[in-house]
Amino acid sequence: MPVRVRFAPSPTGFLHIGGARTALFNWLFARKHNGAFILRIEDTDQSRYVAEAEDDFKDGLRWLGMQWDEGPEVGGPHGPYRQSERTELYQKWVNWLIENDSAYRCNMTGDELAALREQQKKLGLKPGYDRRNRDKKLGPDIGPHVVRFKMPLDGQTVVHDEIRGDIVFENADLPDLVLLKSDGLPTYHLANVVDDHAMQISHILRADEWIPTAPLHAQLYRAFGWEMPKIAHLPVILSPTGKGKLSKRDQAFQEGGKQVLVQVREFRRAGYLPEAVVNFLTNVGWASGDDSEVFSPQAAMARFELKDINPAGSKLPYDKLEWLNGVYIREKLSETELADRLVPVLEEAGLTVDRTVLEKVVPLITERMKTLNDAIEKVAFLFGDTVTVNPEDLIQKKMDEESTVKALEAALQALSALETFDHETQEAAMRDLVDELGIKTGQLFGTLRVAVTGQRVSPPLFETMEIIGQETVLERIQAAIAMLQPA
RNA sequence: GCCCCCUUCGUCUAGCGGCCCAGGACGUGGCCCUCUCAAGGCCAAAACAGGGGUUCGAGUCCCCUAGGGGGCACCA
């Protein structure tokens, strides 16, 4: 039986990092087995529907490099792939269940149900639907109604989870869940079972929070007489606050002075590389088993086994993502590729990028970046006409205005005298000057750095000056001297 | 309240009865390199939740307790 898995998000919000991890494990599993990775949009909740969500899912998956084999846009033999377009199918199967005495209609309203629950709580009873219409065989002419599943009242249901092993449930604890809502749309429970069967899904890899309803789904498969796909429940991603799962949060937030990103688009905007995010996510809840930390999806696929997934929930190690992203920037991307990715980021930040200059500076900043966004402040002084210098920054440790001006003037003279302005020549000249002036290299280089870049921290000074060019360098040094000697 | 899942360094994890007085990575601290910042190199501190079993032997198997998480919707 071919492997066919699906990622089936509900379009109620943007692609969440936890959802991306679920998608990733599905994708890895499908690719490992030369199977199909299917995208299905579970849009059966009209009240929570968000129109932009589907595009965000697709953008996110594509950005991360997980192309789906069947689904919206690409089509496939089992479409349509939006549940809202498959309603007749659910209707058909629900009727089949009613005819086979496995489901029944119930016209109790939501308000009545809520009141019942309230009352039960007061009396200390288990809250829940009391199955009052279970055996009445109500017809379709009872006005607004739902269709509920007839759960067995005794016995046990065993769900074999590929990660955890057998999980046993007492049927008596399980409710008669709603299959078809009064608006005629199916609930997740019905739609998911009908579609997984219709789409010939072989393995269900879904989030942990579905474990409690798994026996319900198992009973549905049994009622239909269908073979249930193999199933594995993926551990949840926990919030770094230590309280609950991350998915409760919809957007980035601050925790302990750090930014906690939640949506995939937020990771993208923050300057993370999709390759790094994928690598990072692969290592949460699963590990390569050989202590390697940096690896391609292909390498992960080779070893990926459901049984090796860690069933425990985990927090995202954001610090590790920063480090990994740095690794990808400096070791996995060529200078040209990095420049390509930097251009839109810098332009977005309002800089007018000169590609030639950018390519020269890229080698100087790669090992100083954790995210693409880090490049913005590192190269800004290259793409403006002037730099803003704080005079106090010009004066280095154990120096004063007078000695600083003296040093800058000497440097100005020496640098202007250079025939060639490459960094080796500059450095040789400046080191000679350090000896002449009797100061430390850090003192001279430091004040020059501030004068030329406006920053106390910059890429290596002489390589930077080489890029800026002799003329501009001299101008900036003169400007710095002028700052320290008000007219 | 009821049901279910989970539990190794701060964090992500390796470990599938003896190879573990527990390995790797991030982070943290120290040292080295050094024109700043990085990167890099070296070193260090840091964990089997607790208690019972089973066994010649338990981080690894079983039970209990505790803690964490999830679910108990006409949401997925």
| A285 CA from B18 C1′ (Å) | 28
To the nearest whole percent, how much of chain A has pLDDT over 70? 99
Residue nearest to nucleotide B15 (CA to C1'): A289
For A150-193, write each residue's pLDDT tens digit. 999 999 999 999 999 999 999 999 999 999 999 999 999 999 99
Give the CA-trace dihedral at A381, A383, A388, A393, to 10 degrees: 10
Which residues are A168's β-sheet partners? Answer: A158
| A121 CA from B1 C1′ (Å) | 9
* pLDDT for residue A389: 86
pLDDT band for A125, please (50, 70, 90 cuts).
confident
| A129 CA from B44 C1′ (Å) | 61
A17-32 helix and A274-282 helix, angle to the nearest 10 degrees: 80
pLDDT at A439 exceeding the cut of 70: yes
For A3-60, write each residue's pLDDT tens digit. 999 999 999 999 999 999 999 999 999 999 999 999 999 999 999 999 999 999 999 9
Residue A207, CA: closest nucleotide via C1'? B70
Residue A316, CA: closest nucleotide via C1'? B12
Cis peptide before A80 (omega within 30 of 0): yes
Residue range A424-443: average pLDDT? Answer: 91
| Residue found by looking up tokens 């003169």 in the block | A478
Distance of CA A266 to the CA centre of its chain: 7
Q: Which are the contacts of A350, defined by CB distance < 8 A and separation ≥ 6?
A: none
Hits for CB < 7 Å against strand B across A residues 24-63: 42, 44-45, 47-48
Within 7 Å of a protein beta carbon, the nucleotides of strand B are 1-8, 10-15, 23-27, 35-40, 68-76
Residue A453, CA: closest nucleotide via C1'? B36
pLDDT band for A288, please (50, 70, 90 cuts).
confident
User: CA separation (Å) from A97 to A142, A171, A176?
Assistant: 18, 19, 13
Residue nearest to nucleotide B74 (CA to C1'): A181
Phi/psi at A108 (5° precision): -70, 140
Going A59 to A64 to A65 to A68, the CA torsion angle's sign is negative
Residue A181, CA: closest nucleotide via C1'? B74
Q: Please say whether the beta carbons of A102 and A149 come within 8 A.
A: yes
| A102 CA from B14 C1′ (Å) | 48
Q: What value, to the nearest 5°, has the Cα angle with vertex A350 and ends A344 and A351?
A: 75
Half-sphere exposure of A309 (CA within 13 A, CB side): 30
- Dist CA A279 CA A282 (whole Å): 5
* pLDDT for residue A487: 57
Buried b (16+ CB within 10 A) or exposed e, A91-118: bebbeebbeeebbbbbebeeeebeebbe
Instruction: Please give the structure tokens belonging to residue A289.
Output: 């088993």
Residue range A406-411: average pLDDT? Answer: 92
Half-sphere exposure of A44 (CA within 13 A, CB side): 24
Active-site residues of A, by number, are 248
Residue A314, CA: closest nucleotide via C1'? B12
* pLDDT for residue A483: 87
Strands A36-39 and A4-7: parallel
Instruction: Please give the structure tokens belonging to residue A263.
Output: 């949506």
DSSP codes joined into one string, A297-327: HHHHHHH--GGGS--S-EE--HHHHHHHHHH
The three-state secondary structure class of A4 is: strand
Strand order in the sheet with A178-180: A103-106, A146-149, A178-180
ipTM: 0.95
| A208 CA from B1 C1′ (Å) | 23
Hits for CB < 7 Å against strand B across A residues 206-245: 208-213, 235-236, 238, 242-245
Task: Give the other-Cβ count within 10 Å of A389's Cβ.
Answer: 19
pLDDT at A247 exceeding the cut of 90: no
Higher pLDDT, A243 or A184: A184
Instruction: Please give the structure tokens belonging to residue A71.
Output: 């689904």
Q: What value, to the nearest 5°, has the Cα angle with vertex A318 and ends A317 and A324?
A: 95
Q: Please say whether the beta carbons of A464 and A430 come within 8 A.
A: no
For A202-227, write each residue's pLDDT tens digit. 999 999 999 999 999 999 999 999 99
pLDDT band for A486, please (50, 70, 90 cuts).
low
pLDDT at A396 exceeding the cut of 80: yes
Going A11 to A12 to A14 to A20, the CA torsion angle's sign is negative
Report chain A's mean pLDDT, rounded to a whole number.
93
**Most distant CA atoms of chain A, gap in Å:** 104
Hits for CB < 7 Å against strand B across A residues 463-482: 463
